[in-house]
Structure 1
């Protein structure tokens, strides 16, 4: 009898099927979308022991009016600063219209307009001088910069203050000249951090009209704001950011999910609690006067300057 009669192959000698993917295996990373106005993947930034942006990924469509909302310290400003080439990320990729921000930073900066903060501008220049400087800094000729500067000053109701130093502007006027300086070179993407803060209602309405018209021509507007009513009214898309990550993103209707956007925002980020009840804070509703401290009651009232001595 042959030695192999009745031999059954061991499991190791049989071809083994490839193991199925474990449901716990992380999904393959999605590459950046070069067709998006802004495409971010895995953006990360730490300041000391604090993680400001924690692996954030998102796409902002071309031609959208995109709002970034989140509580204070959520990572909105840090994300925008990294995505526009003003702050180096610790990890991750950011693309602007198909260009890697950190490999082609000069080209990227020509395509975007970033609204500076009031403490980032030369406020010893007049409004007109600041706009001309901003245009020429971006490679425009002086004559074209001058023409566009006058157009912007008129559009933003600053024509009367064209020759006034920016240091003498009100908070709202300063906000407007900062926005104008970001727009003078007609960028394809505008990035605005709290653009309507301190701006009066009339000027705010005019600015909104300008930005909406800009978006209709194919420009992309990205704003960071705490005002939900403004975002819900103006924006086509919104992303809710909390703890350095995106909680929800999409069109305003998709994120709101049939609710008021502010209510939906509070559901996503949490943190709301019942009002604290302070027994001593009654606004006078009980009709009782505040008690006089014993030390004060022990001394007579001091006569005023015109009283008896």
Structure 2
């Protein structure tokens, strides 16, 4: 194990692996595959594919593990979706959608390249050091078999690393006393992530919910009157990311500085290609 990683090396690696994982959520291939097993609603499809590794869980479990979704919004689709398609069928449909999505975005030549195989090997090696303790979404996905094909193995490893970091991040948000909407508002105010209109539409929050959360952040001195982070708000968000890094350090320390640098390089190239192929909807990112 090499613990002498450059500052934020794990975070930088996460920031290019996570979008590779997330491409399938916005892919027409996912809608096609889920519709083929009877799940035609886009929100129901998202809840089902991300939760399926845990089995046919209820709305409470999904809300708890996803954190920033409105419970009533989740409950419109969960557990009803499991009466339409089993968790096993959803996982199989997701795998087919991921395969189709990556082949379309990256191209067959890249899919078959030694770079994808190398990235998969590095990401899987890093994931060996992830810990199941108090990380339900990671633990559920860690129980799934590793796909044989390198591009799918890379996606699987990216999923493990994403959910491992995400589970730890939720503990940090709780410690910071940010409720789900406050976490979304404060993160959006950093200028990163999805635009508020996308967040509200996909998480089930109303504009009133959003504005009320912003008011609570202003009362804590974290948000200014014009919706920007104050100095205290910026400091809190930086502390949240630093603590998330600390809780997520094991896989990247295990991989070592050279391995993390190489994985970041490879994933960056793949992500750039996916973005150029239109992996995400226009206008999704930003403050709009």
User: TM-score normalised to the size of structure 2?
Assistant: 0.23
Structure with greater helix percent: 2
Structure with greater strand percent: 1
Choose 1 or 2 for highest CA Rg: 1
User: TM-score normalised to the size of structure 1?
Assistant: 0.22
- Work out which structure has the larger RCO, using CA pairs closer than 8 Å and 6 or more positions apart in sequence: 2
